[in-house]
Amino acid sequence: MAAEAKRLKRFSIAQRLWHLALVVIFFLMGITGLAWMYIETGWGRMLAAPFGGWQGALEWHRIAGLVLLALFALHILYSLMQIEWRHPFRWLAGPDSLMMQFGDVKGFFQHLGWIFGLREHPRYDRWSWYEKFDYWAVWWGFMIVGVTGLVLYNPVLSSDYMPGWLINVALWIHRIEALMAMVHIFTVHFYLEHFRPKALPFNAAMFDGTIPMSEAEEAHGAWVDRLEMEGKLEAHLVPEPPVALRIAYFIGGYALIALGIFLLVFAFANVAAVSLF
């Protein structure tokens, strides 16, 4: 295999920029949303202060929501452009597709067997079953918070088309799904991508777009084999990023992780406080 110093390119610049934009918008919506929900608490006022208080936090939340809608529209357009339209169904069922397939079910049970020491670790292709699940979980959450968010964007206008109690239901669904999204991102996603033993000390794949060859061969061995068989492996090999960049990725990444954990603790501490007192 190629030199150990080389890495395998996994994500394009467009994919990394979209992920970065999604991270920024997600955190902005999380901060402003929690500030709006718990403005009567000291923590809520602290979160709202950089935005000029409750009203400012609400306006920023609405703006971020519209940007998120635009991001997902662009992502849909980008995804459609990736499909080989001469054979769309074959492509969607292929190894580069993020669509769930029968092989993912097989991979799930083999992975489960590996956890209990009964089977070998599955050799995934480009995407593992849990990476696909992580991807589609974002879409599921977006559809729920997106629809309810549009209802809540202008509740007076929405009341022309639906009863008031339905707007209240939309508010609670929006809040609950938003909290569930934060729980998923700040626990499941952070663990899968950053806290797994093999991902430590930090998984910078979404920063520099690459993973070490040793990790690729172990976690995505079928993908490496396929690239080699197709004669595309050398084109995917890239050198190590500069040390300064790796340090920047590490500091920036863990700063975001720390902020996410803080927001999660803040959210549940205030849920408990409001519920109990």
| The pLDDT of residue 265 is above 50 | yes
Cis peptide before 155 (omega within 30 of 0): no
| The pLDDT of residue 277 is above 50 | no
- Residues 54-72, mean pLDDT to the nearest whole number: 92
Query: Burial of 138 by CB count in 10 Å (0-12 exposed, 13-18 middle, 19+ buried)?
Result: middle
2 belongs to a structural domain: no
Query: Burial of 161 by CB count in 10 Å (0-12 exposed, 13-18 middle, 19+ buried)?
Result: exposed
Give helix then strand counts, H and E, for the chain: 14, 3
Cross-strand bridge partners of residue 92: none
Range of the domain at 45: 7-276
| The pLDDT of residue 1 is above 70 | no
Confidence of residue 273 (pLDDT cuts 50, 70, 90): low
| The pLDDT of residue 52 is above 80 | yes
215 belongs to a structural domain: yes
- Count of structural domains, the chain: 1
What is the residue type of 277? Answer: F
1 belongs to a structural domain: no
| Mean pLDDT over the full length of the chain | 85
Confidence of residue 51 (pLDDT cuts 50, 70, 90): very high
Residue partners of 240: CB distance under 8 A and separation at least 6:
5, 6, 7, 246
Contact 210, 239 (CB under 8 A): no
What pLDDT, in 10s, does the model give residues 9-45?
Answer: 888 888 889 889 999 999 999 999 998 888 888 888 8
- Residues 4-11, mean pLDDT to the nearest whole number: 78
174 belongs to a structural domain: yes
The domain spanning residue 143 has which CATH number?
A: 1.20.950.20
234 belongs to a structural domain: yes
Separation between Cα atoms, residue 148 and residue 168, nearest integer Å: 10
| The pLDDT of residue 215 | 82
44 belongs to a structural domain: yes
21 belongs to a structural domain: yes
| The pLDDT of residue 264 | 85
164 belongs to a structural domain: yes
pTM to 2 decimals? 0.84
What pLDDT, in 10s, does the model give residues 120-172?
Answer: 888 888 898 888 988 888 888 888 999 999 999 888 888 888 898 999 999 99
| The pLDDT of residue 274 is above 70 | no
Residue identified by tokens 């000029």 is 52
What pLDDT, in 10s, does the model give residues 189-239?
Answer: 888 777 777 777 777 888 888 888 888 888 888 999 999 898 888 888 888
| The pLDDT of residue 50 | 92
| The pLDDT of residue 256 | 87
